Structure 1
Amino acid sequence: MSHRVFIRKPIDEDWKKLLLLHQRSKSFHSPWVSPPLTEEECKKYINRCKNKDYEGLLICHSTNQKIVGVANLSQIFYRAFQNAYLGYYVDVEFAEQGLMREGIRLALDYTFSTLNLHRVEANIQPKNTASINLVKRLGFTQEGFSRRYLKINGEWRDHERWALTVEDWVFK
């Protein structure tokens, strides 16, 4: 269990903090993700987090409560599939400190214990070595390659498909 970070759901008032994080980290995130860069987009994101098929989780620093990063579980399916897609990104200020690994670990605990999902997938661009190393350290297995999978910053990009099931997850 992490003592350096905790996770929480975003609240309406978080839009300003998220906007600053996104703007400050814009070049760091490119070309991997394109988070909301306007007030309207940040507010839409927070509203989307209220949907039943989407869980947005803020990874926050335990000491000062600053938002370290974001973990999103999208397209949450139940019944026979019990799956979600995991996306995440870090604030450039907190990059390479191991905080995201701790935060994603908490998000995975939440995914498997609270949401009772069986499987989570992370689709990552092949050259995003930091993200690939993160999922490897967390026990994900590479399952495939998807050509021109997601449109990011106006360009269709290839992705590797990584997955983790509850049977392979170690709750810590």
Structure 2
Amino acid sequence: MSVRVLIRKPTPADCQELLALHHRSQEFHHPWVTPPLNERDCQDYIDRCHQADFEGLLICHVANDRIIGVANFSQIFYRSFQNAYLGYYADVDFAGQGLMSEGVRLAIDYAFGILKLHRIEANIQPENRASIDLVKRLNFTREGFSRRYLKIDGEWRDHERYALTVEDWH
């Protein structure tokens, strides 16, 4: 199988391309995720990617380095927990092509290999079937249901909780 995507850390030079992706995909992302829609918030996101408890990765097309999605690991804990929360989203122009599955797979390899995490958790709204299907393809296990778990777009939303450990990854 040929490699179609790569992952890399965002830089300030990526801000305009990210903003264009976010605006183009805004309706597609609603109500699942609300990425930055202005330059200040985008720069804040890129700055956050340099903090110890957060790792943001761009998923890019190998052919032209175009950003086709984002994978984030937030609230990274070490010591006896070694856990992070995974969030991701795609550019609407590349949805449904399997590129995000490939990119998130690379991001998980990075989290277990480079970040030395033991466990990754993904919390997904039950109506977001595409995202649930993605984590299931990647061998995540459904662990439970969290009522009114996150406030997104001004509303507290239910989520299904999925997790993957390094032992189940390889």
TM-score (norm 1): 0.97
C-alpha separation between the residues in 2 aligned to 1:27 and 1:2?
A: 31
C-alpha separation between the residues in 2 aligned to 1:146 and 1:2?
A: 38
Unaligned runs of 5+ residues in structure 1 are none
What is the 5 A alignment of 1:115-134? 115-134=115-134
Deviation per residue, 1:6-62 (Å, 9 max, x gap): 000000111101100000000000010000011111010000000010000000000
State the Cα distance separating 1:2 from its structure 2 match. 6.0
Contact kept, 8 Å, 1:125 with 1:159, in 2: the verdict is yes
Contact kept, 8 Å, 1:9 with 1:56, in 2: the verdict is yes
Structure 1 outlier segments of 4+, above 6 Å = none
Give aligned-pair identity as a percent.
71
State the Cα distance separating 1:64 from its structure 2 match. 1.1
**Residue of structure 1 equivalent to 2:109:** 109
1:29 lines up with 2:25 in the alignment: no
Unaligned runs of 5+ residues in structure 2 are none
**Residue of structure 2 equivalent to 1:43:** 43
SS at match of 2:146: strand
SS at match of 1:139: coil
SS at match of 2:132: helix
Task: Kindly provide the amino acid, as one letter, of the partner of residue 137 in structure 2.
Answer: R
C-alpha separation between the residues in 1 aligned to 2:114 and 2:122?
A: 19
Cα RMSD of the aligned pairs, angstroms, is 0.9
TM-score (norm 2): 0.99
1:165 lines up with 2:170 in the alignment: no
